[in-house]
Structure 1
């Protein structure tokens, strides 16, 4: 009897391919979830270990001297530096009035970030008062904090304090100026501080937005933080978080500036 050899054709069945695709999808999903969890943990750490600790330092100074940082202790005006912060939005400049450890950067997409070149040193005021500072980037750079944006590029936060005149859209009174925030981080901090990411209300607001007008049709868009993590550094930023910004996953992400209203 003649034996016929049978040829077996190799390959995956549709069921096997479906299983492989499902496994790949699960792996990708797990990686993305892991990244989100890690990023959220970093944002929480920035708030608790850096921003909140600077609030504590500011409050400690005020409780010790009965005046904000840089104010006259003998005849306090209850303003940071004892004066209003004179903002020239047209020329993107500001007179001395903010208290910083050196000068924060000023960019065209960040109307007012921090102090002028001759701003007083925040570190000197705090250490001279015996106030403990957050570690920040280390000795001499306690006002800075470095983190990675969503594209893995380094970003630097800097804090300053200033007095905002009445009718300032980002909040009047004594505020902490926080520059170097990616839109994603800014929204996260706003959510943790105010309970909702609205850049024009509450204690945590975005700098550079026009004051919201009651009944305006633009209110829905202005409720969003300007810019998102697809905007690259140096761009103007999208008007709301749902608009793609034109950057790619290698660009450094655009950064924003926020004012955090102090309680005193």
Structure 2
């Protein structure tokens, strides 16, 4: 039998089981935070895709109704009263500042655009244009999304096209690196 002083004096500390439980809890919390951020990013990508699809539908509806492209419409001031200007009617939306105003005044999108300095923004915060531009070695009319994280551009491309930045109907100004770089321009051509 041990003396009474030896029995009452035990070493204090954590067992390996207690430490393992704490580490598992910390791991679950970190996993939940990372998964939550992933869900937020996925929601933003879906919002950008939905915005692009909606704008393309609005352009098509405008073209069906007025037989002209928004921004490029040579008779916009008569088609959509209040428009600040007409396009040149050449089939190329170089008048990108007029495009959202024509669509909004025609009731195809919501918002108020002055036709000169106002522009649309994406869920990520970058500018959005309806524009005739060259992106990724392809030119034409399309929806241009500026300053998206490369993962957003890649997901947009994969869901709407072929997932490659330099081919198909969705193009980007740079490769998809998945390291958080910003793609200056991503275009969805129509």
Superposition TM-score, scaled by structure 2 size:
0.74
CA deviation vs aligned residue, 1:50-83 (integer Å, no higher than 9, x gap): 211111111111112333331557xxxxxx9516
Picking from 26, 32, 35, the partner of 1:33 is 35
Picking from 150, 158, 177, the partner of 1:183 is 150
Distance 2:100 2:52 in 1: 15
Native 8 Å contact 2:128 2:146 kept in 1: yes
Larger radius of gyration: 2
Picking from 184, 200, 204, the partner of 2:166 is 200
Q: When the two structures are aligned, how many residues end up with a matched partner?
A: 172
Change (3 A) 1:171 1:71: farther
Distance 1:83 1:61 in 2: 13
Pairs within 5 Å for 1:1-264 = 4-5=4-5, 6-48=8-50, 50-69=51-70, 70-72=72-74, 82=90, 98-101=94-97, 121-128=98-105, 130-133=106-109, 135=110, 138-140=111-113, 143-147=120-124, 155-162=125-132, 169-194=136-161, 196-207=162-173, 224-225=175-176, 228-229=179-180, 231=181, 254-262=182-190
Distance 1:56 1:189 in 2: 17
Q: Where in structure 1 do 4 or more consecutive aligned residues deviate above 4 Å? A: none
Change (3 A) 1:81 1:36: farther
CA deviation vs aligned residue, 1:130-163 (integer Å, no higher than 9, x gap): 2421x4xx5335622353xxxxxxx323222216
How far does residue 3 in structure 1 lie from its aligned partner after superposition?
5.8
Distance 2:3 2:63 in 1: 98
Distance 2:91 2:177 in 1: 29
CA deviation vs aligned residue, 1:74-115 (integer Å, no higher than 9, x gap): xxxxxx95166xxxxxxxxxxxx62323xxxxxxxxxxxxxx
Structure with higher helix content: 2
What residue in structure 2 maps to residue 94 of structure 1? none
C-alpha RMSD over aligned residues: 3.0
**Structure 2: unaligned runs, 5 residues or longer:** 76-87
Superposition TM-score, scaled by structure 1 size:
0.56
Native 8 Å contact 2:44 2:123 kept in 1: no
Native 8 Å contact 2:144 2:187 kept in 1: yes
How far does residue 172 in structure 1 lie from its aligned partner after superposition?
3.4
Distance 1:124 1:21 in 2: 56
Which secondary structure state, in structure 2, belongs to the residue aligned with residue 98 of structure 1?
coil
Distance 2:69 2:177 in 1: 30
Which secondary structure state, in structure 2, belongs to the residue aligned with residue 58 of structure 1?
helix
What residue in structure 1 maps to residue 82 of structure 2? none
